[in-house]
Amino acid sequence: MTDYRDIRYRFPTINLDGTTEGSPAEGDIWYDSGKFYLGTSQSFTGTWSSGGNLGTARNGLAGAGTQSAGLCMGGSIASSSPVYSGIITEEYDGTSWSSGGDMSTARWELAGCGTQSAGLSMGGKKMSGWSIVYADTTEEYNGSAWSSGGNLATARSGLGGCGTQSAGLCMGGTDPAYQAVEDATEEYDGTSWSSGGSLATARKHLAGAGTQTAGLCTGGMGPGPSLTVSNVTEEYDGSAWSSGGNLATARYYLAGAGTQSAGLCMGGTDGTYSAVTEEYDGSAWSGGGNLTTTRSSLAGAGTQSAGLCTGGDTSYSNESNVTEEYTPTTAGAALEQLFTPSTGL
């Protein structure tokens, strides 16, 4: 609450063109255009706004890059033949998506990281004949085409990913023993994967963010026969995971973006499809603005201050082509009019 004994009187600088300079703070009395105002502290919830639609609606896809140079790859397309043919790559320029080079191996429920010109995709599910199998496949993107990278040590789907093409990180997921939830972490050096520190809580369908030496993962499902929906957050220091602040809303099939100290997660499901967005400050999550389109199994990219999400499903087998862009929570001072000199209080 403002201590009015410390109220300051501030007058804006008036430029020759009639514009003003200076900003009111909480507790300031601000005079402008013949009126007096009181500066009051206010905060504003971050908001999602519409971006350009994907060329191909799909769920279970992976994301990478930034809000103005995004990348998404793979995914499940129920209307395609065969049903799971997610080789598609699309590139975002901040306004619209365009076709990129197809992946060599069609996959869904994979993870991605890196940039639009140096992307990385790993794991997922793929077709072998008419059977669904778990993938250890890694591919690297150069801005136009995918090439083979070193295979994961543990084939899995529903994993989280973060980092770069030359310093990638993946964690969690489900291995080929169906419903066996993984705690395994692997680190990529641009050529091959090696074992990292295990998650404290094994999970699948979790979200990843950050870097190989400062990673973040949150949400997911597991462990145990009931496959509990998780609100757990863990932070990686390059060798081991430690506990972070819990999500306010536990969910899985969510997407992540940002860094360990400025993370972002959005969407997902806890049995009911979610529009929830949360922001991480390095120790705790707080509420952000809800997605415009409620969905799960979506892809995330970008930062907390310029987030991007795309695709997913809005109900079972109802794939989405929706893209949204995030503008974060801001705080500042608002002006509340007090009086004009001619009329008094």
What pLDDT score was predicted for residue 40? 52
CA distance 272 to 249: 12
Low-confidence ranges of the chain (pLDDT < 50): 1-20, 41, 333-335, 339, 343-345
| Residue 36 near residue 313, CB atoms below 8 Å | no
DSSP type of residue 161: E
Q: Which strands, in side-by-side order, build the sheet including 330-339?
A: 8-10, 28-32, 35-44, 330-339
Q: Looking at domain 47-327, which of 3.60.21.10, 3.40.50.970, 3.20.20.140, 2.120.10.80 is its CATH number? A: 2.120.10.80
What pLDDT score was predicted for residue 342? 55
CA distance 158 to 314: 18
pTM for the whole thing? 0.83
| Residue 70 near residue 76, CB atoms below 8 Å | no
Please report, to the nearest 10 degrees, the dihedral formed by the alpha carbons of residues 85, 89, 95, 96 taken in order: -50
What pLDDT score was predicted for residue 6? 45
CA distance 324 to 180: 33
List the structure tokens of 310. Answer: 């795309």
Q: For the chain, which residues make up each domain, given as ranges?
A: 4-45+330-339, 47-327
Could you read off the pLDDT of 155-182 as tens digits, one per residue?
Answer: 999 999 999 999 999 999 998 765 578 8
What pLDDT score was predicted for residue 330? 58
What pLDDT score was predicted for residue 92? 98
| Per-residue CA distances from 147 to 105, 120, 142, 152 (Å) | 10, 10, 8, 15
Non-local CB neighbours of 316 within 8 Å, separated by 6+ positions: none
